[in-house]
Amino acid sequence: MTQRPERHRQIHLAAHFPGVNSTTVWSDPRSGSHIDFSSFEHLARTAERGLFDFFFLAEGLRPREHKGRIHDLDVVGRPESLTVLSALAAVTERLGLAGTVSATFNEPFELARRFAALDHLSGGRAAWNVVTTSDAFTGENFRRGGYLDRADRYTRAAEFLATARELWDSWTPQGRPRPFAHHGEHFRIEGEFTSPRSPQGHPVVIQAGDSSEGREFAASAADVIFTRHGTLEAGRAFYADVKGRLAAYGRHADELKIMPGVTWVLGDTAAEAQEKAAEIRREQVSPQNAILALEQVWGVDLSSYDPDGPLPAIDPEPASELAQGRVKITDPFAVAAKWRALSEAKGLSIRQTVIETTARQSFIGTPASVAEQMAEFVGADAADGFILVPHLTPGGLDDFVGKVVPLLQERGAYRTEYRGATLRSHLGLREPVWKG
Amino acid sequence: MTPPTGRGPLHLAAAIDLPEVHEAAPYAELALLAERGALDFVTLGDSFARPGPDALAVAAGIAPRTGRVGLVPTVTTTHTEPFHVQAAVATLDWVSRGRAGWLVDVSATEAEARLFGRRPAAPREELWREAGDVADAATRLWDSWEDDAEIRDVATGRFIDRDKLHHVDFEGSTFSVRGPSIVPRPPQGHPVRVVDATAPPARETAARHADVALVRAASALQADAARAELRGLAARSGRDPDALRVFAALVVDLGGGECAAEPGHGGGPLPTAQGPAYRGGPVDLAELIAGWHRAGAVDGFHLTPLEPRRDLERLVNGTVALLQHRGLFRTFYPGSTLREHLGLARPANRYAQLAGKPGSLVGEPS
């Protein structure tokens, strides 16, 4: 056993609602509705029972397409984030409520107002995960269209957030609106904001995205960064890099919480957990999903290939527009070469290769070993906490809250009660200075 | 049920606006009071032009605290994105389990335009035409998923039947939307659209796209004329006029006692800055409602209490109780969705093909 360095480092936990993604096992008989409010309520209440910092919803503004047709293999369809979160505010008391909303296909006045409303309705529990998109495919649903250059994404997002903060700061401490005027590169707006200062002053700001611009944006302006660095080494490197960027903005390392999105599998024994993990990976990568994953790398139709057969001998097609609404694979040749090497070395079929390379779980083991791994991760400065991504809706968090949370509490690594009422207080963040 | 008087069952709705209140609980109290009176729906006003909370967010915050009453927030169409608006209203329908409505409005002032900085103010006629486009695009997006699109077919690995999702390819004069929606078709098919049709620029849009039209009328005669005009416009646009409910909209001040109207008021509404206002007791208001409805002038009433807490309580415990006692208003909700309260059918999906789809035979007459 270690010296329990984690006693001084409290783990932060958040819950992701597993909506549209390729990891939800919708074919499991325990998988319920991903759209009925009762599912959101179940997962949020479970997260609150587990004393989590917040509940997190992703966003997608157009159903994904593959080969010009709507992608039909994973969960499709989701509600609009802020409306669900406003309803969840009524059935939870302390849990933070985080919504992903694009800074590209919205306007600062309206969005600042909607987040202020959520912060008021929830008594100070709102968070905004700021994302951007440069994707003309998504733009086809909006007045704006797909106009935004990739290079302008973060400049617009940064100005968007700065403008929202001007609006949140615009009322007087006496509770009266005061005129604002913002004249910048992306926005020229003026008038009066409609909402008094909300309980948190500014809703908590989350940033997701791993590019250098994304990291810089997070260091300059975010309270939480949502990452995908799932291994201890990658986590430590990312942690050091991002925390190191804060000083340049006059910020302390504690002012930005680093929370990777992680999955877990529990078993009564280590072997049972490994067995369950392998089974979940098989369910996540159906034969059809294996071919789809391959097509996204190769950029061509591979539907005639046998998922249980070998990888294609042909080279990928560069610059393919095969898949729309997904993260683009930047170097398909490198990915294909890696997959081929793995397949040849281990004698893996297409489906087995995809399972090996894409369907990784972060923490596998008994509740005690998962608690220990998590504490070690945080103790080693690889993260401040985790955003848990269950593979089942809506009961996917039940085992974690029932079995792992009490063990984290026993180790002194996790809170045993909410001390404050706002999300900022759960995260140990100060209220922003009112530039009034 | 065949009602003894009027053109059909009486419908009642109330505004529950609380200027300067940003928490959910006081709104939920008013909505629960309205629900105790079995009112069809409550409305929440909204505008970017004055302090006040986001109405749709407040309605969502009320949804889990109530069980039956319809929730109708105002959402404007001028500076908002039609795709976001339809997704938010559809989501309100999901979180309220089929009780969502949408009071469609425009933002006509230069001051509102400056809050967004994207387009200058435009004449109301143009804005209402655009509002009609937004309402139209919204119903297409609500239909862009057929009701049975989610199949979870393990054998073929398909979560949805992609043939039951549809691009809408809507082309309006100010915007276009490709679709389909991100939100599966909401429980009511189409959440209920409400339009204040008092001002002429809004009337055509109301006749074409509203399920409920509000008319600020100072007399039964005025209400009757507006109702006839709206039904005529609806018929000319190819709709069944019986699928449009016309409500008289009145401001009510019930602070004046049990029965006595203000001297000189004669029990009828008087013009004010906010529209025709009724001032008097709950009993006289019940008389007015019964009288206008019996005359066939309106399908229902939308009442805006001058003092929300006081007047809504008097409305429910006095006026509504009396109407119920006389058998003129229901005492419970026979259905669970707002459409059911209003006696409006769940619309058929325009994209669903009739062959082999018995569900699509159930719908509103076209």
Residue B299 counted as domain residue: yes
| Structure-model confidence comparison of residues A433 and B43, the more confident one | B43
Integer Cα distance of A218 and A230 in angstroms? 19
Contact check, Cβ <8 Å, B183/A83: no
Residue A396 and residue A347 share a domain: no
A154 is in an annotated binding site: yes
Residues A294-348: tens digit of each pLDDT: 998 999 999 999 999 999 999 898 767 777 777 777 788 999 999 999 999 999 9
Number of independent structural domains in chain A: 2
Contact check, Cβ <8 Å, B115/A27: no
User: Could you give the angle at which helices A153-168 and A212-221 cross, rounded to 10 degrees?
Assistant: 10
Task: State the number of CA atoms in the 13 A half-sphere of B345 facing the CB.
Answer: 14
Asked if pLDDT for residue A4 goes beyond 60, the answer is: no
Integer Cα distance of B326 and B296 in angstroms? 17
Residue A314 and residue A235 share a domain: no
| Residue B105 CB contacts under 8 Å (≥ 6 apart), including other chains | B46, B47, B74, B75, B76, B77, B131, B196
CB B347 within 8 A of CB B189: yes
Query: A300-306: long-range contacts (C-beta < 8 A, 24 or more apart)?
Result: A301/A67, A305/A350, A306/A349, A306/A350
pLDDT of residue A210: 83
A391 residue type, one letter = H
Taking the CA of residue B279 and the nearest CA in chain A, the distance in Å comes to 31
CATH number of the domain where residue A62 is located: 3.20.20.30
Q: Count interface pairs A-B at CB distance under 8 A.
A: 183
Closest C-alpha to B129, from B185, B53, B201, B48: B201
Integer Cα distance of B178 and B144 in angstroms? 10
How far, in Å, are A22, A226, A386, B216, B230 from residue A335 at the CA level? 18, 24, 27, 66, 63
pLDDT of residue B354: 52
Range of the domain at A335: 286-358
Contact check, Cβ <8 Å, B182/A113: no
CATH number of the domain where residue B225 is located: 3.20.20.30
Residue A154 and residue A86 share a domain: yes
Residue A112 counted as domain residue: yes
Structure tokens belonging to residue B122:
């435009």
Residue B2 counted as domain residue: no
Residue A354 and residue A378 share a domain: no
Residue A7 counted as domain residue: no
**Average pLDDT by consecutive 10-residue portion of chain B (366 residues)?**
62 96 97 98 97 97 98 98 98 98 98 96 97 98 98 96 97 96 98 97 98 96 97 97 97 75 63 90 95 96 96 97 97 97 97 58 39
Residue A189 and residue A246 share a domain: yes
Taking the CA of residue A138 and the nearest CA in chain B, the distance in Å comes to 9
Asked if pLDDT for residue A3 goes beyond 50, the answer is: no
Range of the domain at B117: 11-354
pLDDT of residue B15: 98
CA of B80: which chain A residue's CA is closest? A110
Residue B182 counted as domain residue: yes
Mark which of A310, A340, A358 sits at the end of a domain. A358
Mark which of A358, A382, A410 sits at the end of a domain. A358
Determine if residue B275 is left, alpha or beta; phi over 0 gives left, psi from -120 to 50 gives alpha, anything else beta.
Answer: left
- Output phi, psi for B299, to 5 deg: -90, -20
Closest C-alpha to A311, from A347, A278, A283, A279: A347
pLDDT of residue A135: 85
Q: β-strand B212-215 against B11-15: which pairing, if any? A: unpaired
B260 close contact with A: CB closer than 8 A: no
Structure tokens belonging to residue A365:
């083991």
Residue A231 and residue A173 share a domain: yes
Integer Cα distance of B166 and B15 in angstroms? 36
pLDDT of residue B322: 97
Residue A280 counted as domain residue: no
Asked if pLDDT for residue A215 goes beyond 90, the answer is: yes
Residue B4 counted as domain residue: no
Task: Tell me the ipTM for this assembly.
Answer: 0.95
How far, in Å, are A18, A389, B320 from residue A21 at the CA level? 7, 10, 49
Residue A316 and residue A172 share a domain: no
Residue A435 counted as domain residue: no
**3-state class of A244 per DSSP?**
helix
Closest C-alpha to A374, from A228, A365, A50, A417: A365
Integer Cα distance of A311 and A225 in angstroms? 36
Structure tokens belonging to residue A386:
């985790």
- Output phi, psi for B308, to 5 deg: -50, -55
Taking the CA of residue B157 and the nearest CA in chain A, the distance in Å comes to 6
B42 close contact with A: CB closer than 8 A: no
CA of A108: which chain B residue's CA is closest? B116
Number of independent structural domains in chain B: 1
Residue B207 counted as domain residue: yes
Mark which of A358, A388, A418 sits at the end of a domain. A358
Residues A179-202: tens digit of each pLDDT: 999 999 999 999 999 999 999 999
Residue B173 counted as domain residue: yes
Residue A210 and residue A174 share a domain: yes
Task: State the number of CA atoms in the 13 A half-sphere of A176 facing the CB.
Answer: 3
Structure tokens belonging to residue B318:
């006095």
Residue A274 counted as domain residue: no
CB B257 within 8 A of CB B279: no
Contact check, Cβ <8 Å, B91/A79: yes
Task: State the number of CA atoms in the 13 A half-sphere of B339 facing the CB.
Answer: 19
B62 close contact with A: CB closer than 8 A: yes
Residue A389 counted as domain residue: yes
Residue A165 counted as domain residue: yes
Taking the CA of residue B188 and the nearest CA in chain A, the distance in Å comes to 13
Residue B333 counted as domain residue: yes
pLDDT of residue B360: 40
Integer Cα distance of B37 and B318 in angstroms? 10
Residue A390 and residue A423 share a domain: yes
Interface test with B, best of A26, A27, A37, A121 (most B CBs within 10 A): A121
| % of chain A residues with pLDDT over 90 | 81
Residue A264 and residue A216 share a domain: yes
Closest C-alpha to B343, from B4, B104, B5, B10: B10
Binding residue numbers of B: 74
Residue B302 Cα to chain centre, angstroms: 10
Residue A385 and residue A354 share a domain: no
pLDDT of residue A154: 86
A330 is in an annotated binding site: no
**3-state class of A190 per DSSP?**
strand
